[in-house]
Structure 1
Amino acid sequence: MLQVPVTSNDIDVLARAPESQYFDRKSAKIKPNDLARTIVSFANSAGGKIAVGIEDDGVVSGFRYDGAQPVEAFEQCALLHCDPVPMVTPLRIPVTNARGEEDMVLVLNVSASQNRVIRRKNDGKVFLRSGDKSVQLEYGQILSLEYDKRQIVFEDEPVRGTSIENVDSEVLDRYKRALGTTVSDEKALYSGQFLTDNGELTHAGVLLFAAHPTRFMPQARVLRFEGKRLETGSQLNIIKDRTFEGPIPKIVEGASLFISGMLREYQYMDKNAKFQTIPEYPEFAWFEGLVNAVTHRDYSNTGEHIRISMYDDRLEILSPGKLPNTVTLENMRTTRYARNPRIAKTLVAFGWVREMNEGVQRIYSEMQKAFLHDPVYSEPNGQYVKLTLENSSTSRVLRTQDTLENRIGRDTLDSLNEYEIEAVQLAYSEKRITRKSLAVHLGRSLKLASATLHALTDKDVLQWHGSSTRDPHQYYSLKQDEQ
């Protein structure tokens, strides 16, 4: 569900609004040090609003009762209990509490910290907002957050054991030509902060220019699947699998050529009776998704590939690392941010990169112009960013038809009637079908469905599975899908 900030200070809104990524309610009985946990989590995320004096269930309890902390303790909470001190704006709102007394609620508007990780002062713990919870981070997660906020800049850290000897001269020459400079390789790298005073390449230098960066971190993997989902074991349906290594510019070029070679084009007749060619996906959409993944992934997570998975009905691009800093799924179309600005700036020179929200916005636009569903962004397990592009029903039909021709033969496929073709396509899609499921799919009788399945079994297209004709668990599958 889309979560949006609570902007109103109306007491009814504050009492009813669901707690979320951007909003929390707290009783005035809470200890200031415990409230600091929520303040820290909002400051380390995208900011948020805390209403103190309202219970979790929305009851306006206020401050006028035994056990309530003084309002001043909460107004000074950020100053006394957070390090460094985040920007928090307090606002006292007069209310009538649930007991009918004149009272107040304290609203704390917490701003996002742009360049520092905020900690709770007494124990140094770091918290991050995740949904309606303030989650404590572990060491590796804190380090990643520090990278995001530029407190530590991953790109600029040296990679031990590297030197200019590790550089791919062809890529560096292209970079220099793009900049219009003829300076020495060493000066070009040093001026771009890709080479340290000690002569070691930085992480950005390795990723962009090293001939073999996978000695230090993995790169991109492209997989093509037959069907709409990943199968395992004897049903494993990976039909193409290639890993791309090398400096980022070569990865982008190699992966994009490989992907484009596996994408379908199909024709249709327009209103002027002329054939038009339509790509399976708009080129900008998938290419920008690839470039964004390469540019904005969390490279401090060194154990993961960028993974591009191509299914019959969609293309998925999975990038290691959650969305950076203040970027969220809700605001990513309007928020500008680059986790790896040196990499982004370099790829601008190659003509590929736009600021994150500009590219995302155009992906939406290109998919809409192609009459396709909007792209879908998600954060699986809070550890990745996934872009899903769905293709058109026409291209899905063509891809399914090609697959079925390869599996059962063109002549056999041409010999089937319309009900048999529907049954074969359903068996391909669902793996298992029954008399009832086919009848529902066709919108026809069980008798017709049964006759269709028997005919396909006789033609050696389908395989029947069951112990007897009365077996309640009997089903049919494509001959090559026998289980």
Structure 2
Amino acid sequence: MRNNSEVHGAKSLDEIKQLTESPENQYFDRKSARLKIRDIARHVIAFANASGGRLAIGIEDDGTITGFQQQGAQNIDEIERCHIFECEPAPSVIASRLSVTNSHGETDTVLLLDVAASPDVVIHRKGDNTVFLRVGDKSRELNHEQTLRLEYDKNQRTFEDEIVQWSSFDDVDHEVLNEYKSKLGTSADDARVLCSRRFLIDGHLTNAGVLLFAKDPTQFLPQARLRVLRFQGENMETGAHINIVKDQSFDLPIPKIIRGASTLISSLLREFQYLGDDGQFATIPEYPQFAWFEGVVNAVIHRDYAFAGDYIRVSMYDDRLEIISPGRLPNIVTLDNMRTTRYARNPRIARALVEFGWARELNEGVQRIYNEMQEMFLKEPIYSEPGGSKVQLVLENSITSRMLRTEDSMEQRISKQVLESLSGYEISAVRLACLQKKVTVKELASYMHRAPKTIRPVLKSLVEKGIFDWHGSSMRDPSQHYTLR
């Protein structure tokens, strides 16, 4: 059996490896001990104004351990107190020293500064009153307008940390919490884990704790849900012409909302076939998976949960997919800079979802949505703020151009007079047959979002009219299918 010192040594080695090899990101940065104390304060301030984070002093950007023994290194005691003497007001920082062996083989020290997010006040640097904000892996200086927006946003930040007085530990969904603990690699007590991340305070869940871990978040926050709607056609109809074919709400903790909604959306999306240059048919999805999934995750992370009058909606039409998230773009993010700028309105939720693996730390998501749409020869995603009270993402598919090609193909094979005599369901079946070599009951049912019992008479009618041929040994033949005559 290993003694305690050996166990401690193994843990230290693991921590040193993580500090030297982990990429710098929204929550972590490495800095040389030679850096001026005011410049170190810059990064402390940036973390405090954003989502909090860890600063490792004594490690170069490339991961080399240079420690505090090197020539030109600052005084470790002064760096340890820089948040007190260089920041106004002083943020909450926990300092710890880690014994290491530096690049010259000498016993040395790395200073770790764990900076807590400042929930309700903007931190400035003393002397010049400069404000910094952590954005991705950079600590950016804010201009006057950006600083004002950050000050306004800090009032919003308190929402995450507000205690829900009528909640308790009994409201926790332990399936979600166990998954979270597994991702963190900890076996600590459940309550301790929640308390350490300020999701549980004095026995009560915070708003962030409710949204992430409560079995029924809408019991406390009725707006905490996501609704998926699938429409038949390109517009929403009402009354006798209502065209909703699927309507499902998810009133669950955020991790389960993401998982459940993405599974449903994936099942509702269509696939299209096209004839490639090699003469073979290939299948392509209606939208790239990353694009719509990232859109859903971003909506869940960045929505304004303090706004109680609305919820997240995903609306699927024949020609587009729309994702609407209540609340304007957060802080320094605008429609013009959103591809390159990252800011979390809900930093505790954002960090938890990074740890779950649902979100990405760096600001790559929005840009990748653009890239994925472009690679599939689809139109650029459209972001907007309709009414100034919500953010909308629209992904358009290429159904229009596909349909134009299909209509040409249909009229080449079937006379216009015959086409005009067909029902809407029959035209849809013929259209699908023009898109691919053969049609099955299951494929047409999925394509039209209808039950198989509705589809079978349509195919039978087309066979009777001499438009389709049926292929199969019997009606129970699993390989049976239909083709255009």
TM-score, scaled relative to structure 1: 0.54
| Equivalent position of 1:290 in the other structure | 296
How far apart, CA to CA, are the structure 2 residues paired with 1:392 and 1:266? 10
- Of all paired residues, the percent bearing the same amino acid is 57
| Equivalent position of 1:113 in the other structure | 147
Indicate if the aligned counterparts of 1:149 and 1:325 stay in contact, CA closer than 8 A. no
Of 256, 265, 273, which residue of structure 2 is paired with 1:259?
A: 265
User: Is 1:242 aligned with 2:276?
Assistant: no
How far apart, CA to CA, are the structure 1 residues paired with 2:295 and 2:349? 16
| Equivalent position of 1:232 in the other structure | 238
Q: CA deviation at 1:424?
A: 8.6
Count matched residues: 284
| Structure 1 gap segments, 5+ residues each | 1-83, 90-108, 118-144, 402-409, 430-483
Correspondences of 1:127-276 after superposition (within 5 Å): 145=152, 148-149=153-154, 152-196=157-201, 198-217=202-221, 218=223, 219-276=225-282
| Equivalent position of 1:349 in the other structure | 355
Q: CA deviation at 1:309?
A: 0.2
Correspondences of 1:377-456 after superposition (within 5 Å): 377-393=383-399, 397=403, 417=416, 420=419
Indicate if the aligned counterparts of 2:157 and 2:346 stay in contact, CA closer than 8 A. no
Q: CA deviation at 1:380?
A: 0.9
Indicate if the aligned counterparts of 1:212 and 1:247 stay in contact, CA closer than 8 A. yes
TM-score, scaled relative to structure 2: 0.54
Indicate if the aligned counterparts of 1:289 and 1:387 stay in contact, CA closer than 8 A. yes
Of 354, 358, 367, which residue of structure 2 is paired with 1:361?
A: 367
Q: Which residue identity lines up with residue 254 of structure 1 in the other structure?
A: G
Give per-residue Cα distances to partners, 1:65-112, cap 9 Å, x unaligned. Answer: xxxxxxxxxxxxxxxxxxx9x9999xxxxxxxxxxxxxxxxxxx8442
Indicate if the aligned counterparts of 1:337 and 1:356 stay in contact, CA closer than 8 A. no
Residue 237 to residue 286, structure 1, CA distance change in 2 (3 Å): same
Indicate if the aligned counterparts of 1:312 and 1:396 stay in contact, CA closer than 8 A. no
User: Is 1:303 aligned with 2:309?
Assistant: yes
Residue 276 to residue 183, structure 1, CA distance change in 2 (3 Å): same
Q: CA deviation at 1:304?
A: 1.3
Q: CA deviation at 1:271?
A: 1.6
Correspondences of 1:451-466 after superposition (within 5 Å): none
Correspondences of 1:73-84 after superposition (within 5 Å): none
How far apart, CA to CA, are the structure 2 residues paired with 1:178 and 1:88? 39
Q: CA deviation at 1:397?
A: 3.1
Q: Which residue identity lines up with residue 300 of structure 1 in the other structure?
A: A
Over aligned residue pairs, what C-alpha RMSD do you find?
A: 3.4
How far apart, CA to CA, are the structure 2 residues paired with 1:155 and 1:418? 63
Residue 361 to residue 236, structure 1, CA distance change in 2 (3 Å): same
Correspondences of 1:32-47 after superposition (within 5 Å): none
| Equivalent position of 2:338 in the other structure | 332
| Equivalent position of 2:319 in the other structure | 313
Indicate if the aligned counterparts of 2:324 and 2:390 stay in contact, CA closer than 8 A. yes
Q: CA deviation at 1:416?
A: 5.2
How far apart, CA to CA, are the structure 2 residues paired with 1:419 and 1:88? 77
How far apart, CA to CA, are the structure 1 residues paired with 2:157 and 2:350? 18
Q: CA deviation at 1:331?
A: 1.0
| Equivalent position of 1:434 in the other structure | none
Q: CA deviation at 1:163?
A: 1.0
Q: Which residue identity lines up with residue 312 of structure 1 in the other structure?
A: D
How far apart, CA to CA, are the structure 1 residues paired with 2:194 and 2:332? 30
Q: CA deviation at 1:179?
A: 0.3
Residue 420 to residue 348, structure 1, CA distance change in 2 (3 Å): same
Q: CA deviation at 1:149?
A: 3.0
Of 273, 283, 289, which residue of structure 2 is paired with 1:277?
A: 283
How far apart, CA to CA, are the structure 1 residues paired with 2:365 and 2:281? 31
| Equivalent position of 2:31 in the other structure | none
How far apart, CA to CA, are the structure 2 residues paired with 1:363 and 1:255? 18
SS class of match (1:367): helix
Q: Which residue identity lines up with residue 200 of structure 1 in the other structure?
A: H
How far apart, CA to CA, are the structure 2 residues paired with 1:310 and 1:157? 35
Indicate if the aligned counterparts of 2:157 and 2:345 stay in contact, CA closer than 8 A. no
Indicate if the aligned counterparts of 2:384 and 2:391 stay in contact, CA closer than 8 A. yes
Residue 422 to residue 385, structure 1, CA distance change in 2 (3 Å): farther
How far apart, CA to CA, are the structure 1 residues paired with 2:333 and 2:380? 19
How far apart, CA to CA, are the structure 1 residues paired with 2:226 and 2:359? 17
Indicate if the aligned counterparts of 2:146 and 2:331 stay in contact, CA closer than 8 A. no
Q: CA deviation at 1:350?
A: 1.7
How far apart, CA to CA, are the structure 2 residues paired with 1:381 and 1:116? 22
Give per-residue Cα distances to partners, 1:430-464, cap 9 Å, x unaligned. Answer: xxxxxxxxxxxxxxxxxxxxxxxxxxxxxxxxxxx
Indicate if the aligned counterparts of 1:158 and 1:201 stay in contact, CA closer than 8 A. yes
Q: CA deviation at 1:395?
A: 8.4
Residue 395 to residue 206, structure 1, CA distance change in 2 (3 Å): farther
Q: CA deviation at 1:418?
A: 7.6
Residue 418 to residue 355, structure 1, CA distance change in 2 (3 Å): farther
Give per-residue Cα distances to partners, 1:270-293, cap 9 Å, x unaligned. Answer: 222232210000000000000000
